[in-house]
Amino acid sequence: MAISETVAASTATQCDILRHQHYLATVEKSPLTAEQCQATVAMPDRMLLVAAAGSGKTSVMVAKVGYALLTGQYQAGQILVLAFNNKAAQELQERIHTRLRHLIPVGQQVKTKTFHALGLEVISAVQGMRPDVAVSTEGSALTDNVALNDLIKHSVQNDADFAEQWLLFRLFYCRELRSPAHFKRRKQWLDFVRANGSGLGRHLGFLSLNGDMLMCQCELAVANWLYMQGVPYNYTSMRTNHSIFRWGRPRPQGFLLLHSQCWVLVSTQANQRDTSSSSMQAGKQLHISFDDLVSGRLFRRLRMALTAWGQPVRPRTGAYMMQRLGGDMSSDELEFLRAFIHHARSNALDGCSLRKRVAQHAQADRAGTLTGFLAALLRAHASQIAQSNVLDFQEMINRASQYVATGRYRHPYRLILVDEFQDTSQASAALIKTLLQQNPSCKLFAVGDDWQSIYRFAGADTRLFTHFEEYFGKASKYFLRASFRFNQGIADVATEFIQHNPDQLKKQVVALATDRTDSVVITHYHTQAEMLARCLLCLDEIQQYASGLAVTTVYILGRYRHQQPTELAQWQTRFPGLQLEFKTIHAAKGLEADYVLVLGLQGGRYAFPSEINANPLLQLVMPDAETWPDAEERRLLYVAMTRARHKVYLVASALVPSRFVSELAKYSGVLNTGAMT
């Protein structure tokens, strides 16, 4: 159901604005605009405020808290303000204290917190003491990787089921999974084996821990599992050099278990059974297919067969298997697993949820094969947290939600205000919902801008904002369209650019500064030296604009940290009238400067839009990907452009052009200066 947009203020709202016009004119340093006044006095049960960049949303949040106190609708202790990070929470707290001090009785306070601080408060109240807090996402990567590696080693050595799933992860994490049946030609299959397998002399295949050169990845999983269980076998291949597959007439090959004289036959097609070999017919047989591998049932079927045959096993120790498979996990593997755990917990996903998501995954075979290990790791991690009684940031939110949902914590809040709502994760949204459900009269006021949602990699789900009613019920939507920050030239270009994505909420941004002249400039370069020269020309021009001013701020923004110019200190010396600062675009969000230079606008390895794709397995646990291409990258460039008050310089490669620059160059409001000659 679409949100019912508030087109005009109701008569009652207009009366409230007139009745409190003195307060609305003085609560902040400047009188509130008409849109800000409407958003301040409206008090529906659910309200979404869509605020353009630089439109004064913080002023509205402060004014709304004051209005609630002034009119006696709420007491200070019944109001909760939630912010995205500590800096934002502190700013809101200081603004509320400074501007509303006369409205808050002595001994009372309006609580302004981050989601993590709220979670910690809830848990401390229920448990009777403040729990220890682990350094997590803000700690050193080395510490986190060491702790995670120790958890995996302990689980491998003490949990046989975990060890089996870990074996699959080590075998196939970095490799695409395919069966010969996926290829139309033998040459295509051989190319795949060369890329993902091993070579031993003139032989090509997949090398097992037992030293066998195997024909396919399913065989590799069977052979290494038998090796892990200490089951001796002879490997029999009916053909060599992959001619076995006889494209269109694949045949199984197998493992003869020496004790029980039983066969494990591996087919190159799903559910393929072949009884053409009389030698194999003499003993009992278990037919294994690629489907068994990717569905996660391979090891279960093997174990059941060995038990039925009376085949003894002598499992090798976890420590030995870890050593045989290369010892500790690599930093890349650990970084992936840390991100996977973070996103799974941020989106409240468990093993059952993962398995449901596998069918829709772009690499369903690979995901299905590794899901068993990933689910087991989530359980081991949760168990470790429960036993240690040490909380990380995500556990603060998840456990607090449980305590509120079960009634172990009763909250006093009747009005909840949430800043930067476009950056909310599913876990944070779940905490909000439990607070609202516990007290049906509690109202929610969410503020943000879906055009500035750039934290999906950290767990933010933009759908919580764009589809607000699906999660929180019928709501009223208000807008802040007037920007106090940038001029109309920047507003026009940035708005046209972001609304190229039809999934973004529509609004027309109106800047108080009406200038439209050359506010967005593209300047091209061919070489690194030309790029630096172009930056100097831009800074020369800015210094001319700034002549006579006390301080002129300039942000030099990059898509990546390594794009910071090494000459920045020299530039600062050369332009003493300018205050130069490099930031990544993510770090610049919420900030502003007089002028902005955006670097790294290019194609290639470090392209903007970025062509560095996250590990596809992370899609199992991340918020659903958007259908519009480069949606978040587009929002990132929008954020970069809207940091500037007066002018934006887009420093772009002419040799390897950015797709975004090619698009922007066609806009009527963009000055394209061409390349240096």
Q: What is the CATH number of the domain that holds 616?
A: 3.40.50.300
Return the pLDDT at 139: 39
Residue range 330-358: mean pLDDT, rounded: 86
Domain that holds residue 349: 143-174+330-387
In this structure, the answer to whether residues 320 and 403 fall within a common structural domain is no
d(CA 396, CA 393): 5
At residue 321, does pLDDT exceed 90? no
33: in domain: yes
Do 2 and 51 belong to one domain? Answer: yes
Place 320 in a pLDDT band, splitting at 50, 70 and 90. confident
Are 200 and 216 part of one and the same domain? Answer: yes
- Domain edge (last residue) among 345, 372, 387: 387
Contacts made by residues 188-197, CB under 8 angstroms, sequence distance 24+ = 189/242, 189/245, 190/242, 193/242
pLDDT at residue number 3: 46
End-to-end, the C-alpha distance of the chain in Å comes to 55
Q: Is the pLDDT of residue 241 over 90?
A: no
Work out the average pLDDT over 608-630.
85
Which of 127-131, 223-227, 327-331, 406-410 shows the lowest mean pLDDT across its residues? Answer: 327-331
pLDDT at 79 over 80: yes
Residue 119 sits in the same domain as residue 44 = yes
| Tokens found for residue 483 | 């920007």
pLDDT at residue 626 in the model: 87
Residue at 490 is within a domain: no
Beta bridge partners of 203: 200
For residues 67-76, give the mean pLDDT.
97
Q: Is 116 in the same domain as 236? A: no
pLDDT in tens, 109-122: 999 999 999 999 99
pLDDT at 367 over 90: no
pLDDT beyond 50 at 341: yes
Last residue of a domain, one of 371, 387, 403: 387
Q: How would you classify the pairing of strands 46-51 and 476-480?
A: parallel
Whose tokens are 């109309």? That residue is 488
The C-alpha R_g of the chain, in whole angstroms, comes to 30
With 50 as the cut, is the pLDDT of residue 398 above it? yes
**543 and 516 assigned to the same domain:** yes
User: Could you tell me the pLDDT band of residue 676, with boundaries at 50, 70 and 90?
Assistant: very low
Q: What does the pLDDT look like over 425-449, one tens digit per residue?
A: 999 999 999 999 999 999 999 999 9
The answer on 414 and 345 residing in a single domain is no
- The whole-number average pLDDT for the span 323-352 is 85
Compute the mean pLDDT over every residue in the chain, rounded to the nearest whole number. 88
Q: For a pLDDT cut of 90, what percent of the chain falls above it? A: 58
The reply to whether 612 falls in a domain is: yes
Domain boundary among 302, 325, 348: 325
Residues 298 and 360 in one domain: no
Q: Do 447 and 417 contact (CB within 8 A), yes or no?
A: yes
Instruction: Write the Ramachandran bin of 659: left for phi over 0, alpha for psi from -120 to 50, otherwise beta.
Output: alpha
495 is a domain residue = no
- Over residues 279-293, the mean pLDDT reads 73
Residue 493 lies in a domain: no
Residue 282 has pLDDT above 70, yes or no: no
Of 90-94, 335-339, 435-439, the one with minimum mean pLDDT is 335-339
- Please check the confidence at residue 247 and state whether its pLDDT lies above 80: no
Query: Cα separation of 341 and 354, whole Å?
Result: 12
Note the residue count of the chain: 677
Is 190 a domain residue?
A: yes
Q: Is residue 487 part of a domain?
A: no
Number of domains in the chain: 4
Among 354-363, 605-614, 623-632, the range of highest mean pLDDT:
623-632
Give the per-residue pLDDT at 283. Answer: 52
Supply the pLDDT for residue 281: 43
Is 90 found in the same domain as 199? no
Q: Domain check: are 358 and 433 in the same one?
A: no
Cross-strand pairs, 523: 651
Both 424 and 560 in one domain: the answer is no
Give me the mean pLDDT over the 70-77 stretch.
96
pLDDT digits (tens, 9 = 90+) for 252-267: 568 888 888 888 988 7
Contacts of 52 (CB under 8 A, 6+ apart): 449, 451, 479, 480, 481, 482, 483, 507, 509
Of the pLDDT bands very low, low, confident and very high (cuts 50, 70, 90), residue 454 is very high
503 is written with which tokens? 């999934």
Tell me what pLDDT residue 14 has. Answer: 87
> Contact at 8 Å (CB) between 349 and 295?
no
Q: Indicate whether this model's pTM tops 0.75.
A: yes
Q: Give the model's pLDDT for residue 135.
A: 59
Please write the tens of the pLDDT for every residue from 487-510.
Answer: 999 999 999 999 999 999 999 999
Question: Which pLDDT belongs to residue 40?
Answer: 97
Per-residue confidence (pLDDT) for residue 382, from 0 to 100: 87
Q: What pLDDT is recorded for position 406? A: 96
What was the pLDDT predicted at 246?
44
483: which residues sit within 8 A by CB, 6+ positions away? Answer: 52, 53, 54, 55, 491, 509, 510, 511, 512
Burial 374-404 (b: 16+ CB within 10 A, else e): bbbbbebbbebbeeeeebbbbbbbbbbbbbb
**What was the pLDDT predicted at 674?**
66
* Bridge pairing between strands 670-675 and 520-525: parallel
Neighbours of 495 (CB within 10 A): 23
Q: Would residue 303 count as lying in a domain?
A: yes
User: Is 184 found in the same domain as 159?
Assistant: no
Angle between helices 160-172 and 141-158 (to 10 degrees): 130
Question: Closest by alpha carbon to 461, among 600, 346, 581?
Answer: 346
Task: Give the range among 127-136, 429-438, 664-673 with minimum mean pLDDT.
Answer: 127-136
Q: Could you tell me the pLDDT band of residue 142, with boundaries at 50, 70 and 90?
A: very low
Nearest to 225 by CA among 375, 431, 330, 372: 372
Distance of alpha carbon 584 from alpha carbon 657, whole angstroms: 20
